Structure 1
């Protein structure tokens, strides 16, 4: 089994699980977002199960303006990703460590330096989940009167990536020699200043840290919109997407892979990994009982607030719960996610109540539930159909939901030869079968 043919797995870690009310489920860790021990235990469990990476989503704001509703969830209390991933690097040795950081509300130099630092600290296991920020609430935390338009955010993102990767490439791999005898720390002939002057940034460079262990930390994106697909096809190496039905997932997969080829890249250089919200039990009926129990713990106001934020910060509190989802204005926030949610709701004729309950559980991702063999079958189906290269596994509740997945489903996937039994490489990039980017010095020499 080669890296290019096996099912790749990430753990999408939400502190108490993906369900908005997961923190109230029996056995949950209610303070999980700020509990380092909880992060350590889940990362180590994922590593023991030979997951490719541990993934932390993030935003730079409380999810919704309705603080009363948000106060009924734990989604507003979690560590800054790179801080906690640096800690996890000390208690893990092989699993990749992926953190979310926005190109809209960060600076390229400081972000390039932070991810280079994580890559060195972890001995080559860092990954950057690049987002453009979907919520206007973030703008208000960064001295902005309004959130940039969707298209403008992606223009900035492209230039941001150009600057960050240029900074990572500023030092040749062999530039730092630490030659004490001759008094040479680094060879200045192997350094290239960036001297970038663009529409959004002016950055001289170089970084004040050697080139990352992997050359570049693995580039991960989460785009669904037209602009998001194009950016992923141009620069991404893993694409985390929200798909809930096989036909749509296959169409998305084929579209993005074709775009990768148009950018003169090998399609295997971008792994498409949709989210899979999992509920595993001894039987399908018991899994359904877990889902029903989670639904009973969800206040209506919290469910509506979460849905409102996910589809573009539209206030839904004044609409009838038993009527169809009302028409919504176009959003400058998460365009792709809004489209996925609206299309499914219209196609299935869902009421607002049905929509918010579904979204509170899955965030628009695929729900995979049942007995262990059923769950393994469902995961294999999309992979065999050419609709994905792997999954970002998102247990509905933690820690029990992930413990059940590892104990009951991973052995079956390993028995089928779908997932790895051992790590075969040292770095995240190598383990995913990705090429190492050449440095600027290597490119000029070629």
Structure 2
């Protein structure tokens, strides 16, 4: 029997491309257009996707990606999507560096309850240094420190989620007993960064606790994921790299005393598909032409804490930047600098490549379906997070043309057999630490 592939889709307004909003097949205001999000989510649910995933950030300036300048707060969006969906998981990005554990525990638990156990939390530490200015902080925590804070933050949140045992609320009208006091638990956590008493003022959900997602690619981020994550987003650009990442994460999970089958790996999938190679090339050129070199330089600068690349000669070799970007998107900036050096790329080439990088999944419908199968068969992925350049025609074409091929070959099922996100991902119910 073939291993079934699972899909999530990233909800980030009009799409993954910085100028996706200019495409004719999406609303220009897609990032704050609820009907757009509703349509994408219901389309994904009808196609049997496991989850939708809302990306987020906490700092903008005039050089930010245009549709990042005005976009919905993730948990608010998921709260609106919960009652109009029935099966698909709802995953939100929330920062541990700039949020209070009690508040986040309560908000995510609420979405989990409202959706019947379909919530997930993408735990991020916030890479943009400017974020500190929006939260009354003098300084953005260093990369390593951010993960130390994240470890404590997550421990507190998960502790609060266990405040109530599963059968604590009796609500017997005849006897007048609302709850069993012996099944209510204070946390009384005291750490380096947080001091939280508890208990949380909401009961447990049908899946026990929301799913923990993580996307950090640095060594410290991978170690954090191996200790804590139920599912990991990765950015491997080739089958061989993906296989290595997959094996490394499973090994690290096992080294931490975990069952490696209980950490699911989802590489990002940004396909460009078409009926033939000519159409694929036309679509790639269309995407490329949505951006100018000035916009591409600004886009590149975001990874390096909004460094101003316009000061350099675009056609000269990629500049030496020293430690610029080290405390921002660390693994991404390290990769960009290494790739530029290895291939002797100019600044122009790097900038344009970053805005519209050629996806490893470019080809005809059949070719991309077979490539997905190859990654699944070779233990490079458990599933994929679909991040289309444009959340319009490209997304619908993938669902209408690629998904049926995967179904026909026995690698995908559009039906739902599970009610909770944990069940959907093949993960066990999260037991309460206090239950006997």
TM-score normalised by L of structure 1: 0.94
Q: After TM superposition, list the pairs within 5 Å mapping 1:368-383 onto structure 2.
A: 368-383=361-376
Cα deviation for residue 290 of structure 1 reads: 1.6
Q: After TM superposition, list the pairs within 5 Å mapping 1:134-153 onto structure 2.
A: 134-153=127-146
Structure 1: tracts of 5 or more residues without a match:
none
2:356 corresponds to 1:361: yes
> Which of 39, 57, 60 is the matching residue for 2:58?
60
Residues 238 and 366 (structure 1), Cα distance of their counterparts in 2 relative to 1, 3 Å cut: farther
Give distance in 2, aligned partners of 1:180 and 1:420.
44
2:18: which partner in 1?
A: 20
Q: After TM superposition, list the pairs within 5 Å mapping 1:300-319 onto structure 2.
A: 300-319=293-312
8 A contact 1:22–1:396 mirrored in 2 = yes
> Which of 265, 271, 275 is the matching residue for 2:258?
265
RMSD, matched Cα = 1.6
> Which of 27, 30, 36 is the matching residue for 2:28?
30
Give distance in 2, aligned partners of 1:29 and 1:280.
22
2:400: which partner in 1?
A: 407
Give distance in 2, aligned partners of 1:349 and 1:377.
33
1:233: which partner in 2?
A: 226
Which SS does the other structure have where 1:17 is aligned?
coil
8 A contact 2:46–2:414 mirrored in 1 = no
Higher mean Cα deviation, 397-406 or 286-295?
286-295
Cα deviation for residue 337 of structure 1 reads: 1.5
2:114: which partner in 1?
A: 121
Task: Return structure 1 stretches of 4+ with deviation > 6 angstroms.
Answer: none
Give distance in 2, aligned partners of 1:318 and 1:311.
14
8 A contact 1:29–1:399 mirrored in 2 = no
1:347: which partner in 2?
A: 342
2:72 corresponds to 1:74: no
8 A contact 1:369–1:375 mirrored in 2 = yes
Cα deviation for residue 401 of structure 1 reads: 1.2
2:330: which partner in 1?
A: 335
Tell me the alpha carbon deviations over residues 168-212 of structure 1, each in whole angstroms, 9 at most, x when there is no partner.
011000001111111121111101100001100010000011113
Give distance in 2, aligned partners of 1:336 and 1:395.
22
Structure 2: tracts of 5 or more residues without a match:
none
2:284: which partner in 1?
A: 291
Aligned residues: 434
Give distance in 2, aligned partners of 1:19 and 1:307.
12
Tell me the alpha carbon deviations over residues 23-50 of structure 1, each in whole angstroms, 9 at most, x when there is no partner.
1112121101100000000000000110
Tell me the alpha carbon deviations over residues 240-290 of structure 1, each in whole angstroms, 9 at most, x when there is no partner.
111212222222222111100001111111111111112222222212212
TM-score normalised by L of structure 2: 0.96
Residues 320 and 247 (structure 1), Cα distance of their counterparts in 2 relative to 1, 3 Å cut: farther
Which SS does the other structure have where 1:314 is aligned?
coil
Cα deviation for residue 366 of structure 1 reads: 4.4
Cα deviation for residue 75 of structure 1 reads: 2.4
Cα deviation for residue 343 of structure 1 reads: 2.7
Residues 378 and 350 (structure 1), Cα distance of their counterparts in 2 relative to 1, 3 Å cut: farther
2:383 corresponds to 1:390: yes
